[in-house]
């Protein structure tokens, strides 16, 4: 009997924990502009290896104790395969769907072309719905290896617009630091109070494997089984979730573990547009709005009460799995930090440059 009571209490605490993570009205808007010319394959590989670590760093930020919403947009530029003016292409506008971000990142391909940094930044300013709120963190990261002042758009005039909107442009030069300064990449950052980094984009990212990575993957299989797609987006996004899991695994076990840690964070990995459990958490009346034929098969033909109970049970199951992943993630991070303490300091790569800059910029406007 005691075990049964303990189980029931754990069940209800899990539901309470799952529902009680308050989001802040604040946003973090993050835009990444990738040079996809011929020499940039290494940059893209670094981005694939670091994208989930970047999201994890971002998800740790708080504004007055609350969790901000993360929106990411991705562009590529400098590629002859791009037919739009100045060879700048939007891969995705601001989105909270992290699987879409991963999908677009893994689809990037390189080809020869002209890299116009000013035009790439200007395009992102024109396309995207930027928050007018000065307490929202707004960041552009542009990476490449050609002179920053190339092309028909003067980066200095673009910089004035950026500053007026409270956006930080941060530049990542793929090459020698001094060469990047000579080619205006540092000026491209400092003109909006952004950060300048130089990286060797051909270096392979060094991952630290841990004894917890495999256990985290086991929990991921259980976690995926709690997702129930609905509507026209449901089937595709369920499939894409599995594809992006596999994409992360193909990079390394460490990257796959980082992705699962993101998926364990309700505020960071929220799929209310297609997953019934997240949708119900965002809108308690959602079941009354979805057509019967758009529901997952498990719920078709059931009464409203039966549907409500099914979703509540799955929400509680998911919360327990996410809690377990969270515990493993803490042990994993402690292991990684211990290993880093033993190692010789390494140079920045694409991911560490963004993570370092993002945290520092967040502090300047009140995030912690």
- pLDDT tens for each residue of 149-169: 999 999 999 999 999 999 999
pLDDT at 245: 98
Q: Are 148 and 111 in contact (CB under 8 A)?
A: no
For 30, the token pair is 């993050």
Give the closest residue to 195 by CA, choosing from 169, 161, 157, 163. Answer: 169
pLDDT at 205: 87
- Is pTM, for the whole model, over 0.85? yes
217/249 Cα distance (integer angstroms): 10
Mode of pairing for the β-strands spanning 88-95 and 67-77? antiparallel
For 131, the token pair is 């928050």
Region for residue 173 given its phi and psi (left: phi exceeds 0; alpha: psi -120 to 50; beta: otherwise): beta
For 144, the token pair is 């490449």
Name residue, tokens 């209800």: 12
- Local structure of 229: helix, strand or coil: strand
pLDDT at 80: 85
Helix (H) or strand (E) holding 23: strand 23-35
Name residue, tokens 């303990």: 6
Name residue, tokens 């002209």: 114
Angle at 269 between CA 265 and CA 272, to 5 degrees: 125
Count of other CB atoms within 10 angstroms of residue 176: 13
- Please tell me what DSSP assigns to residue 29: E
Q: Are 58 and 304 in contact (CB under 8 A)?
A: no
> Percentage of the chain with pLDDT > 90?
78
262/269 Cα distance (integer angstroms): 6
In the predicted model, residues of the chain with pLDDT beneath 50 are 1-22
CB under 8 Å to 81, separation ≥6 — which residues?
A: 109, 111, 113
pLDDT at 346: 72
Q: Are 144 and 111 in contact (CB under 8 A)?
A: no
């Amino acid at each position: 009997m005691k075990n049964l009571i303990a189980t029931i209490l754990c069940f209800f605490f899990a539901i309470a924990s799952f529902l009680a993570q308050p989001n802040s009205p604040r946003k973090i808007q993050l835009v990444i502009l990738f040079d996809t010319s011929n020499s940039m394959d290494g940059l893209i590989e670094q981005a694939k290896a670091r994208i989930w670590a970047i999201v994890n760093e971002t998800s740790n930020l708080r504004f007055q104790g609350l969790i901000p919403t993360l929106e990411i947009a991705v562009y590529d530029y400098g590629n002859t395969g791009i037919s739009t003016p100045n060879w700048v292409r939007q891969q995705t506008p601001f989105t909270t769907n992290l699987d879409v971000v991963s999908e677009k990142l893994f689809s990037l391909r390189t080809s020869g072309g002209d890299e116009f940094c000013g035009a790439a930044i200007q395009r992102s300013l024109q396309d995207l719905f930027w928050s007018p709120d000065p307490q929202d963190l707004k960041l552009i990261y542009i990476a490449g290896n050609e002179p920053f002042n190339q092309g028909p758009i003067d980066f200095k005039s673009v910089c004035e617009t950026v500053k007026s909107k409270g956006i930080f442009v941060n530049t990542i030069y793929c090459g020698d630091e001094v060469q990047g300064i000579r080619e205006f990449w540092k000026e491209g950052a400092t003109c909006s109070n952004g950060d300048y980094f130089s990286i060797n984009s051909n270096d392979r990212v060094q991952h630290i494997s841990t004894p917890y990575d495999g256990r985290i993957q086991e929990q991921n299989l259980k976690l995926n089984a709690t997702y129930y797609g609905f509507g026209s987006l449901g089937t595709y996004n369920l499939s894409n979730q599995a594809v992006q899991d596999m994409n992360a695994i193909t990079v390394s076990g460490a990257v796959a573990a980082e992705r699962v840690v993101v998926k364990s964070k309700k505020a960071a990995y929220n799929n209310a547009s297609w997953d019934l459990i997240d949708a119900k958490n965002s809108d308690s009346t959602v079941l009354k709005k979805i057509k019967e034929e758009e529901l997952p098969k498990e719920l078709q033909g059931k009464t409203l009460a039966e549907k409500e109970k099914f979703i509540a049970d799955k929400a509680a199951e998911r919360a327990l799995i996410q809690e377990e992943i969270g515990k493993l993630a803490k042990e994993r991070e402690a292991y990684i930090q211990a290993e880093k303490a033993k190692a010789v300091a390494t140079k920045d790569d694409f991911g560490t440059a963004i993570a370092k800059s993002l945290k520092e910029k967040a502090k300047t406007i009140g995030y912690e």
